[in-house]
Structures are given as structure tokens and as C-alpha cells.
Structure 1
Amino acid sequence: MQTNASRPAKMLAVLTAVALTTVLTACKSSSGPSTENVTLNGGGSTFVNPVMSRWTHDFAAAHTGTQINYQSIGSGGGVQQVKAGTVDFGASDYPLTDANLAEMKPMLQIPETAGPVCITYNLPGLTKPLQLSAEAISGIFLGKITSWQDPILKKDNPGVALPNIKVVVAHRTDGSGTTAAFTTYLSAVSPEWSTKVGKGGAVSWPVGLGGKGSEGVTAQVRQSPGGIGYVELIYAQQNNLAVANVRNQAGNYITPSTASTTAAIAAFADQLNKDPRVPIVNAPASAPEAYPISTLTFLIIPKDGTDVGKRTMLKKFIQYIVTDGQLIASQLNYAPLPDGVKQYDQQQLSQMTVNGQPVQ
């Protein structure tokens, strides 16, 4: 039976609990926007997908309640989705030009990593890595070199018994940043390619069999003796594909790797510090270790947004990518960003807004 003396004590306890709850609620609401249970959606580059998978997994694991979905649909698809507003961020292996940006709401472009585009091939009986010059690569993809017995190919591979079979070219059919990087290189080394075909995520190929994604290109090469195509390095490694050494302007045949991509970045350091959209293909002869078909990749995000939680977490995610995430990138054979480009990234991030106000 409850006594009269105990009633005031019980009432005091109830009032104290209510007051404490009110104070805690007020503290929570004044601490800024909650970023719990935030879902971010992105899409684009297949080139960056292997490291993006690690970035999204590791970041979400460290931020309870955060989920990041990334669709590897090709750079062209990523650009279109971020333009349409159906994703929170896009990823592309080619930067948006001023003309592209003029057709979209204000966007920020943030370099995220870099890597090489590899030439993969199917040459039965070849035991040494294939060597290819710019003349050979442009001749093959222009359809001018049709046999592996061509004198240009023999010159690149002295003393090597190349098979007496036809060249079978494979290329991407989807909008692709890998294609953009590759055709940017071809345009830089071949005036004929630049005039007849040009560069971009999708071009009118003079010759070859089309495949969707790196998977499609690889399938065409594997099923065609004499086949040759292009894929990103991590994809080639994961699928045990043979890759060619490519001759650079210094006259060296360079294996695609993190180190040779880093050398290509270093060769363009001054230009990149001014504008990270500068291509890093066909480095000058002063960079003897540079792989000539290298590319930066970019995150593309709307400058402004309306969801405070999403924008706050998106900024944290990108901040992670361009800082601690660079170590993960290097472990997966992507080249880390140089300091000048990292500084540019920080400047871009500082421009992120939500409802017109800086994102905290």
C-alpha cells in the first residue's frame, strides 16, 4: 500500500525523468543534422568500380546507418544520371568540358584517382609480353594493320615469332570513360585518328567487334585468336589477361602499373595544378618511365542539394576518398593523387552547399 509520504518522491522522480528527456532531446536537435540512416546513390565508371566497391564498403562500415549504392554502368551513364538528378554522385573517367557544364545545373568535378588503360590480346604461342608503338596501336584500330605479320608489329617485337593470323579488333559499344581515355591517346599520337575518328566516350569505330563493358571486350578477345582490345588494369589483373607494353615518347616500352601511371601524372604536374581536366596521355620524353595511356577519374556532384543529411554524409564520403581512401586505391593498383590535385579537391569540396548554405 502506497503511503502519502512516498507520493511526492515518486512525482519528483517522474518530473526529473521528463526534464532529463527534454534536455537530451534539445541537445540532440541542437547538435546539427542527423546523418543516421542515410542512403547515397551513385553510378558511372566501370574503370573505378573495383576501388569504389572498397570505398563504399569501408566507409559504410565506419558510419553506422549509412548505405552507399554504386552502379557500374559506364561513365556516360553516370554523367547522364547525375545530370537527370537520379543519383547523388556520378563517376567518370573523362571530365566534363565547359560546354558540357553549361548544359547542366552547377556541378563540381573532383578527381578521385588515376590508372592506366591496358591493351589486352589473344596471341596463341606468344610467351613474351607484346610490345606496341603508337604507330602500331593507331594502325590496328584504324584498320590499316590487319595481320600480326605486319612489318610495324615485327619492328616492335624483334626476334619474337608473332603468329601468322589476322588482327581482330574489339572495342566498347557503351559510353565509356575507358574509351574516352583510349581515344584521347589515339588522337594525341595519330593525326589521322584525330581527323577521322576523334576522341570521346563513344566514337564511330573504323573497324572491330563491339562489346558492352570490359566484360564484352574481353569476351570478344578471348574467343578470337588474334584478338586485341582495351580494358582497365585492375580488370586485366583480376581476369589474368595478357597486357602489352606500350612505347612512350622516350622510346621505352612501358608496362601499365601504378608506378608508371604516377610517372605520367608527375609529367603533367604543373598543368594539373591549374586544371585537373588536362589529359595525362602521351607524356613527354622527359618522363621516361611514364605509361602513355593513363587517365584521371572524376567524381561529379551537384554543387547544391536540399537534403541536409545526404549532403553532409556525401561530403564526408568524398573527403574520405581523397584522403585516407587513396591508400586503398594504391593497394588496388590505382595511382594516388598528387598533392596539387588533392588541394584542388579540397577547394571543390568547400563549395558544396545545401539549400544555398555551406555543407558542414
Structure 2
Amino acid sequence: MNRNLFKRAMAGGAAAVLAVSLAACASDDDAGDPTSPGSGDNGGNGLSGDIVGAGATFPTPLWTTFIAEYGDVEPGVRINYQSVGSGAGITQFLEQTVDFGSSERYLEDEELADAEADRGCPAFQVPVVYGSVVIAFNDESLDGLTLDAEIIARIYDRQITNYNDPAIAELNPDFDLPDQEIIPVHRSDGSGTTNVFTLYLEDEVDFWADEYGAGTEVDWASGTIGGEGNEGVSAGITQNAGGFGYVNQSYAIELGLPQAQLINADGNEIYPTLEATSAGLDGLEIPDSYQFSILGIGGEGYPITGAVWNFFYECGYDDNKAELLQEFWSWALQDGNEYATELGYAPLGDAVRDRVLSELDRIGQQD
């Protein structure tokens, strides 16, 4: 795996908008040349052209790696992914300014209906990968601190403002908790990561459901600070003493952020690992609409887990564009699994993956 590309994507840190614009090719001179490295001798089909996508920052490390590695397979294909957040990605997809969108929130029926009316053919969505949302800290000594949904909600509501609060101490009798103000960091942009996180709190904590609810954007309490993208939240955590925030597990792993273990629906204390993410998916039923949430995780599963969906249309692409989209995402779902697991994401199970691969045939089918 190309770690340098991964680190360049992560280095966007506090940038307001991180644009991952990578050419999955050797050079313009090589594009489409069947004698250039990677054109056929590495399993490619000699494809050439451009794809533009936009959306969630949650999968940016993985999408970046997919794009880089696909350059060895199809050096004539250039893929530009704008890591602007789920809210902006959904907007750009519905406004038809990109070829595909990505989000940790699925499109509702009304959005799909509006998209079909505007495009003149159905839009559709498929899950691509799963991942955990972790609670990360600024202070290394807090790694493994046990929290539950109630405490997390009270921290973001500013009912709990110090790490030595009695409620935290009760769950962590063996910790020497610091007398340190907690600085809660949240997403300031429309965010699928926020949607996954607040769905969990809404499902678990009554007062949160009543006062805040769930969504890609939340009216946060005063005394919290915002950052754009998972990059911005990660920066907010690391740059503030007492920093506390929710980020995609891949960001926490790469940055070496200390993380909390959470009490799941069965009362088990679970540290966020890939195995715990995968365990939380056991028995998950995926409807034909692909509209689902992952809640009430017990057993050995980590409790804040979500999916990333990609959005496409059945028309409006030329034949080459449709083929590029189908071939790239088919490759990612099959050959990309090794990169997903290495970066801390959980791939789709075989049965769901096969369903999704069939769905990709719908891209441009009405043209």
C-alpha cells in the first residue's frame, strides 16, 4: 500500500476543504497507451478518462488508497475525489456536478425522488464499506478510558466538563483521572460521521433524543468547538489540552490518538478494533433499498459503527464514463478489501458485496 499517499491525505488536518485530486495514471502521455506500464499486463483493460466524485471525509484515507493503487491497473483513468463532507457531497450529487457521491448517511426516499425528477432517471445507492466512529483524546494517559453513551452525551451537553467528574470516575476506578477541563470537538460541516455518532446517542440517551436528535448537522451546545472534516476534528483534539472528539477510526489510528472503550448494548467494554467493528455487523440485515442504520450492537461488537454509501444515476453518463465508474468501483469492492482492512475499515460481507456488484450494472443502463 502507498503509505505516502495516505499520509498526504491525512496532512490536510485543519484545512477547510481537503481536495483529494489524484491522477490514477502514470502521465498524460501514457494515458490509454496499451504499451505503458500497468495497461493490461497488470490486469487492466486499457481504459482512459476522468471520474469526479465528492462527499464524506470518513472514507478519504481509503478512497485515496484505492485511487493510487488503481493507477497501477488502469493508468489512463484519472479520479478526482473532493473530500468536502457528506452534506456537501450529497448536495453536489443531487445538483449533478459530480459523477458519484459518498456519504455515511443514505439518501431518503424524498431525495431519491427529487433526484429522479431532476435527472430523468432513477438515482440509486449502495453501501461500500463499514467503519467505526471512535472517541479520541488529546491525553495519552486516557487511552482505554471507559465511557458510555450517557456520559458522552452529557459531555457534549456540557453537563460534564472535567475528566475527574464522578460519573467518569465511577466507570474507571483504576484510572488516575486528571483535573483537566474537557474540550469537546465536533464537526462544523454537514457530516455523515456526525450522523452516525448522533444516531447512536439518540438511540441510547433519552435527553439527547429530545434536545438534539440525530442528523448530519446538530445545534451544538455552547462551550464546544467545531472543525471541518475528520481532519479538522482530529486537529481540534490534538491542538487543545483536554481535547475530546469523535472521528473515523482510521484517522485515530494513523495519528496515534488515544481512544476510549465504550460500553455496548450488552454491557461489555469494547475498545475500537477492526475485529470489534466486524463483530458488530454479525446478523446485520441489509434491505433491498440499502437504507439501514447499525444500532443496538452487543456481544463483542463496538457500538458506534456505520456504513459508507456511494450514489449513482441510471442515466446521464456517456458509455465510457459509465464503464469507468463500474470498473473502478467493482475493482475497489473486490481487490480493494486488503487496503480496507489495513486502514481499519470493515469490508462488505461476500453476500452483500455480490449484491452491490450486480447493482453497479445499473450505472448508465438507460443511456
TM-score, normalised via structure 1 length: 0.83
Aligned to 1:245: 261
- Deviation of residue 308 (structure 1)? 0.9
Q: Provide the identity percentage.
A: 34
Q: Whole-Å Cα distance in 2 between the matches of residues 161 and 55 of structure 1? A: 42
Amino acid at match of 2:267: G
Q: Whole-Å Cα distance in 2 between the matches of residues 127 and 218 of structure 1? A: 16
Amino acid at match of 1:52: W
Aligned to 1:280: 294
Q: Whole-Å Cα distance in 1 between the matches of residues 68 and 139 of structure 2? A: 38
1:89-100 maps to which residues of 2 (within 5 A)? 89-100=100-111
- Deviation of residue 35 (structure 1)? 7.0
- The more displaced of 186-195 and 142-151 is 142-151
Q: Whole-Å Cα distance in 1 between the matches of residues 173 and 355 of structure 2? A: 45
Pick from 57, 62, 73: which aligns with 1:51?
A: 62
- Contact 2:143/2:259 (CA < 8 Å) preserved in 1? no
**Is 1:65 the equivalent of 2:79?**
no
**Coordinate RMSD, CA, aligned:** 1.9
- Contact 1:110/1:345 (CA < 8 Å) preserved in 2? yes
- Which consecutive residues of structure 2, in runs of 5 or more, have no partner in the other structure? 1-44, 117-121
**Residue 170 of structure 1 aligns to a residue in which SS?**
strand
Q: Whole-Å Cα distance in 1 between the matches of residues 269 and 84 of structure 2? A: 32
Q: Could you list the per-position Cα deviations for residues 12-39 of structure 1 after superposition, in whole angstroms to 9, with x for gaps in the alignment?
A: xxxxxxxxxxxxxxxxxxxxxx974311
**Is 1:194 the equivalent of 2:209?**
yes
Task: Go from structure 1 to structure 2 and tell me whether the alpha carbon gap of 1:128 and 1:201 turns closer, same or farther (over 3 Å shift).
Answer: closer
- Contact 1:44/1:73 (CA < 8 Å) preserved in 2? yes
Aligned to 2:183: 168
Pick from 170, 176, 184: which aligns with 2:199?
A: 184
Which 4+ residue blocks in structure 1 deviate beyond 4 angstroms?
none
**Residue 297 of structure 1 aligns to a residue in which SS?**
strand
Pick from 270, 273, 294: which aligns with 2:305?
A: 294
Q: Whole-Å Cα distance in 2 between the matches of residues 121 and 127 of structure 1? A: 7
**Residue 272 of structure 1 aligns to a residue in which SS?**
coil
Pick from 223, 229, 232: which aligns with 2:245?
A: 229
Aligned to 1:22: none
- The more displaced of 128-137 and 294-303 is 128-137
Q: Whole-Å Cα distance in 1 between the matches of residues 221 and 143 of structure 2? A: 29
Amino acid at match of 2:336: G
Aligned to 2:276: 260
Amino acid at match of 2:124: L
1:1-360 maps to which residues of 2 (within 5 A)? 36-105=47-116, 106-123=122-139, 126=141, 128-207=143-222, 208-267=224-283, 269=284, 271-283=285-297, 285=298, 288-354=299-365, 356-357=366-367
- Contact 1:35/1:313 (CA < 8 Å) preserved in 2? no
Query: What is the count of residue pairs matched by the alignment?
Result: 317
- Contact 2:135/2:259 (CA < 8 Å) preserved in 1? yes
Amino acid at match of 1:215: E
Q: Whole-Å Cα distance in 1 between the matches of residues 252 and 281 of structure 2? A: 21
Q: Whole-Å Cα distance in 1 between the matches of residues 266 and 292 of structure 2? A: 20
**Residue 114 of structure 1 aligns to a residue in which SS?**
strand
Which of these two proteins has the greater Rg computed from alpha carbons?
A: 1
- Deviation of residue 103 (structure 1)? 2.1
- Deviation of residue 67 (structure 1)? 0.9
- Deviation of residue 276 (structure 1)? 3.4
- Deviation of residue 246 (structure 1)? 0.9
Aligned to 2:42: none
- Which consecutive residues of structure 1, in runs of 5 or more, have no partner in the other structure? 1-33
TM-score, normalised via structure 2 length: 0.82
- Contact 1:121/1:243 (CA < 8 Å) preserved in 2? yes
Q: Whole-Å Cα distance in 1 between the matches of residues 311 and 173 of structure 2? A: 45
- Contact 1:276/1:341 (CA < 8 Å) preserved in 2? no
Q: Whole-Å Cα distance in 2 between the matches of residues 289 and 275 of structure 1? A: 28
- Contact 1:272/1:340 (CA < 8 Å) preserved in 2? no
Q: Could you list the per-position Cα deviations for residues 159-205 of structure 1 after superposition, in whole angstroms to 9, with x for gaps in the alignment?
A: 21111122221111011111111111111111211121111111111
